[in-house]
């Protein structure tokens, strides 16, 4: 669910060219990363796939060739009442990095208070700054789902500055180069047109890509899009599957999300921030929403990939941002809101 650039950020192998245009590669012993997204974007697949990242950095730590995975520790923010408790457990994990690479995957529970979460992140950073004598790397991944992210956005007075100071990855859609590589791996037709058709059918969603991989494993003779059958393309999902997808995307976790998306789906064409705020104010209980609150709603939908963003030049040469519902999201919202007649 991540780009190669994201993976390099997690492993600490980001090139200086990426940051300072110097071009040197450096390996870090300790990194702490906040990963934000929904299961539709691949958040649920971070835990089973990320330990294998050590395979791309073992040579930087003079590790044996057969040592290609992190030893993984799963914890939840719900387990801790104070940052000190987390710091104690993390210290024990760092001690194990004398022999083996360590990864701590922290699931952020929706009910976790922002003050505690920031304390846990600070505890990891403080320990990381002192982790200079270990031989193997330690990676701490904080996994933030849709509900926890909404809480994060609502506490901008505490979190805004953090986003500039820490490593944050927003999971997103697959790009065409990644789709092309997947088609090659699946031994499917990987022409430019085939990549375009898959991108159109999946919207680049990890959820759809994962389903495609599963279907391919079940039917070895699949070689192109039409072999998957009519239920595969997201822009034509029927009620049951549309509901399942939006659940994976986190929509039902926000009481305001589906009504707002329905209103936006009824509008024609793109809309700007003012149009968005007007649509938001029409929703129950949101008539007095402030501009700051409206921005939080907009950013949540955007970062969950439920809106697309486009930058255009206005009459005064200033860049103007407009937004739209992706075709597959618009279709599913219309299906579930009764705008289209469908049969399961």
Q: Which residue has the higher pLDDT, 181 or 17?
A: 181
Tokens of 234: 């997201």
Q: Which residue in this structure is represented by tokens 């387990």?
A: 79
pLDDT recorded at residue 231: 59
**pLDDT digit string, tens, across residues 43-55:** 999 999 999 999 9
User: Residues 294-328: pLDDT tens digits?
Assistant: 999 999 999 999 999 998 776 666 788 999 999 99
pLDDT at 224: 85
Per-residue pLDDT, 160: 86
pLDDT per position as a tens digit, 236-254: 888 999 999 999 999 999 9
DSSP helix/strand/coil, 260: helix
Provide the pLDDT confidence category of residue 207 given band limits of 50, 70 and 90.
Answer: very high
Read off the pLDDT band of 162 (50, 70, 90): confident
Residue 2 confidence class, pLDDT cut points 50, 70, 90: confident
Q: How many CB atoms lie within 10 A of CB 260?
A: 23
Q: Is the pTM of this model over 0.85?
A: yes
pLDDT bracket for residue 145 (50, 70, 90)? very high
The SS3 call for residue 253 is helix
Cα Dmax for the chain: 64
What is the overall mean pLDDT for the chain? 89
Place of tokens 């760092």: 94
Residue 307 tokens, joined: 């809106």
Q: What percent of the chain has pLDDT over 70?
A: 92
- Top pLDDT among 63 and 37 is at 37
pLDDT for residue 11: 80
pLDDT of residue 16: 46
pLDDT for 23 = 45
pLDDT for residue 342: 44
**Alpha helices, H only, the chain:** 4-11, 16-20, 46-49, 83-96, 114-130, 146-154, 156-165, 176-185, 192-202, 206-218, 239-248, 257-266, 273-281, 291-303, 327-336
The pLDDT of residue 166 is: 87
Question: What's the pLDDT tens digit per position in 76-88?
Answer: 999 999 999 999 9
d(CA 163, CA 139): 18
pLDDT at position 317: 66
The 8 Å CB, 24+ separation contacts for 223-227 are: 223/187, 223/188, 223/189, 224/188, 224/189, 224/194, 225/194, 225/197, 225/198, 225/201
pLDDT band at 215; cut points 50, 70, 90: confident
Q: Poorest-confidence range of 14-18, 83-87, 92-96, 340-344? A: 340-344
């Amino acid at each position: 669910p991540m780009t190669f650039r994201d993976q390099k950020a997690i492993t600490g192998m980001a090139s200086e060219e990426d940051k300072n245009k110097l071009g040197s590669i450096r390996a870090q012993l300790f990194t702490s990363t906040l990963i934000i997204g929904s299961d539709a974007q691949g958040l649920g697949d971070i835990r089973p796939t990320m330990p294998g990242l050590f395979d791309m950095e073992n040579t930087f730590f003079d590790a044996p060739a057969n040592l290609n995975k992190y030893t993984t520790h799963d914890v939840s923010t719900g387990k801790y009442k104070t940052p000190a408790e987390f710091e104690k457990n993390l210290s024990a994990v760092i001690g194990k990095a004398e022999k083996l690479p360590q990864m701590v995957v922290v699931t952020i529970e929706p009910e976790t208070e922002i003050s505690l979460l920031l304390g846990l992140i600070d505890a990891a950073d403080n320990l990381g700054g002192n982790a200079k004598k270990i031989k193997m790397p330690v990676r701490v991944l904080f996994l933030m789902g849709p509900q926890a992210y909404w809480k994060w956005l609502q506490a901008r007075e505490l979190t805004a500055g953090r986003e500039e100071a820490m490593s944050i990855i927003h999971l997103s859609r697959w790009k065409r180069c990644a789709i092309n590589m997947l088609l090659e791996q699946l031994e499917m037709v990987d022409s430019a047109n085939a990549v375009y058709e898959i991108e159109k059918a999946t919207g680049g969603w990890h959820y759809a890509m994962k389903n495609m991989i599963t279907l391919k494993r079940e039917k070895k003779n699949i070689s192109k899009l039409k072999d998957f059958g009519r239920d595969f393309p997201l822009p034509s999902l029927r009620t049951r599957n549309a509901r399942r997808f939006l659940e994976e995307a986190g929509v039902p976790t926000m009481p305001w999300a589906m009504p707002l998306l329905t209103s936006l789906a009824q509008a024609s064409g793109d809309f700007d921030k003012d149009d968005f705020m007007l649509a938001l104010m029409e929703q129950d209980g949101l008539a007095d929403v402030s501009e700051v609150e409206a921005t939080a709603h907009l950013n949540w939908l955007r970062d969950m990939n439920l809106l697309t963003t486009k930058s255009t030049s206005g009459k005064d040469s200033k860049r103007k941002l407009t937004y739209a519902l992706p075709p597959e999201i618009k279709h599913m919202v219309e299906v579930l809101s009764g705008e289209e007649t469908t049969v399961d």
